[in-house]
Amino acid sequence: MDYTDKESCNDSDASVNNKIGQEAEERPNEDEEQNTHFNNNLKMNTSTLGITNNKPEAAKEEHTLVDSKTVKRFAPIYKQTLAASASILVSFTGGLVAGYSAVLLPQLKEPGSLIPGDKDSASWIASMAALPMALGCLISGWMMEKYGRKTSHIIICAPILLGWILIACSKSLTLMLVGRFLTGLCFGLLGPVGPVYIAETTDPKYRGFFLAGVSLAIALAILVAHTIGTFLTWQWTATIFTAFPILSVLLFTLVPESPTWLISKGRTDEGVKSFGWLRGFSDEANKELKGIVEMQKAADSEPKLSFKEKIVSLKCPEFRKPLLIMILFFITNQFAGVNAVAFYSIEIVAFAAFFVVVKTAPDMMSGLGEVVTFLVYGTVAGVGTIVMYFILPETKGKSLQEIEDKFRGETRYDTKV
């Protein structure tokens, strides 16, 4: 056979192979039909978004089949509820810290108490939980960027469990203060990481509902602490509270890491899989995923900033505006006496006038009087509420990328579906 015949034969073979391939594509089996949405999502992220997937094709198909069946069995809203519940349960554990003082302090004043319950000791016990909260918030920002949102939750559960154990076993003021410090530190650590994890794992239309669950969990935890402490000693109350960090860790083993964090760390395959598990593969979800990846690609293409340049970048509006709003909100919240009610609520009910803000309020009550103290709290709350009404933007139904773009004063892409 000469060269021309060989070439003709090769062309014929290629034509047959192409025909076979086309016929195979025209006859997809039922499993392939079930996987259509997931495959389209993978193709979009590997071609349109420029994501490279180095996994073997067989392994990819296996993961596709498993995830497709999972999505079919459980709707995304149920998975988002599970993920949010894990974080909310940790916040509930933190809320027990705020409600525990109202249980502990009256019992320490009873005769025969191993730990002194005088005014000075009581104020230190109450304020020791609040003292490390600011430090915890600062550490939390670094921790959740380095280790991830889910992992940070699990890490936080360890010291808060130790703190409750120390409190339950306390026979001296020093051990009690150490336990209170640890639990308060963890309460501060939960401040940023909890809402961030929920925001990054839930649909924009449900996000407000789930984030409201954090505040509800803290309020409910205070009620639970008061209820349990009414019938049991402070030692047994602390012992019962040790169960909640353990339950939180168990719940977190069932949910994935934040897809936004995974993508930001270059773990795009895991991020896409996590996003699909949580959000499904609707057009709206795919558009948000595309926005996350595009934002990360833009960040990766920018040159590394020096320390001085990072400090200057803090002046950007998408950072400065939300920070100022949150500072104003928390100042208003705290000086409105929220922690006064949480930490000293039993004594407030008993005496109907003992309204304090952790450590400074007793001096305000004695120096300024009850009327002026209430007037200060009410004025701060009223002014803060009015200011927040005008400067806090509406975020309902908006993706995190849309919220950031709003603070930056730009629109990156059309969000209409």
Residue 96's Cβ-count burial label (10 Å; 0-12, 13-18, 19+) is buried
Mutual orientation of helices 370-391 and 317-335 as an angle, nearest 10°?
160
Residue 167 is encoded by which pair of tokens?
């409190």
Calculate mean pLDDT across residues 16-24: 45
The pLDDT confidence band at residue 157, using thresholds 50, 70 and 90, is: very high
User: pLDDT tens across 209-237, in order?
Assistant: 898 899 899 989 999 998 999 899 999 99
The answer, yes or no, to whether residue 416 has pLDDT greater than 70, is: no
The pLDDT confidence band at residue 191, using thresholds 50, 70 and 90, is: confident
User: pLDDT tens across 242-256, in order?
Assistant: 999 999 999 999 999
What pLDDT does 68 receive?
38
Higher pLDDT, residue 59 or 201: 201
Residue 290: closest CA among 38, 41, 71, 83? 41
**Long-range pairs for 235-243: beta carbons < 8 A, 24 or more residues apart:** 235/168, 235/169, 236/168, 237/100, 237/103, 238/100, 238/164, 238/165, 238/167, 238/168, 238/179, 239/164, 239/168, 241/93, 241/96, 241/100, 241/164, 242/161, 242/164, 242/165, 242/168
Question: According to the 3-state scheme, what is the secondary structure of the chain?
Answer: CCHHHHHHHHHHHHHHHHHHHHHHHHCCCHHHHHCHHHHHHHHHHHHHCCCCCCCCHHHHHHHHHHHHHHHHHCCHHHHHHHHHHHHHHHHHHHHHHHHHHHHHHHHHCCCCCCCCCCHHHHHHHHHHHHCCHHHHHHHHHHHHHHHCHHHHHHHHHHHHHHHHHHHHCCCCHHHHHHHHHHHHHHHHHHHHHHHHHHHHHCCHHHHHHHHHHHHHHHHHHHHHHHHHHHHCCHHHHHHHHCHHHHHHHHHHCCCCCCHHHHHHCCCHHHHHHHHHHHHCCCHHHHHHHHHHHHHHHHHHHCCCCCHHHHHHHCCCHHHHHHHHHHHHHHHHHHHCCHHHHHHHHHHHHHHCCCCCCCCCHHHHHHHHCHHHHHHHHHHHHHHHHHHHHHHCCCCCCCCHHHHHHHHHCCCCCCCCC
Residue 198: closest CA among 81, 283, 280? 81
Residue 260's identity, in one-letter code, is: T
What pLDDT does 160 receive?
95
- As a whole-number percent, the residues of the chain with pLDDT over 90 amount to 27
Residues 193-212 as b/e (b if ≥16 CB within 10 A, e otherwise) read bbbbbbbbbbbbebbeebbe
Higher pLDDT, residue 29 or 336: 336
User: pLDDT tens across 103-149, in order?
Assistant: 888 888 888 888 887 878 888 888 888 888 888 888 988 999 999 99
Assign a CATH topology to domain 72-255: Growth Hormone; Chain: A; (1.20.1250)
Higher pLDDT, residue 386 or 404: 386
Q: What Cα–Cα distance (Å) separates residue 179 from each residue in 100, 258, 297, 373?
A: 12, 30, 44, 31
Query: Does pTM surpass 0.85?
Result: no
User: pLDDT tens across 284-339, in order?
Assistant: 888 888 888 887 887 777 777 676 777 777 677 766 777 777 777 667 666 666 55
What pLDDT does 14 receive?
46
Question: According to the 3-state scheme, what is the secondary structure of 69-103?
Answer: HHHHHCCHHHHHHHHHHHHHHHHHHHHHHHHHHHH
Higher pLDDT, residue 283 or 91: 91
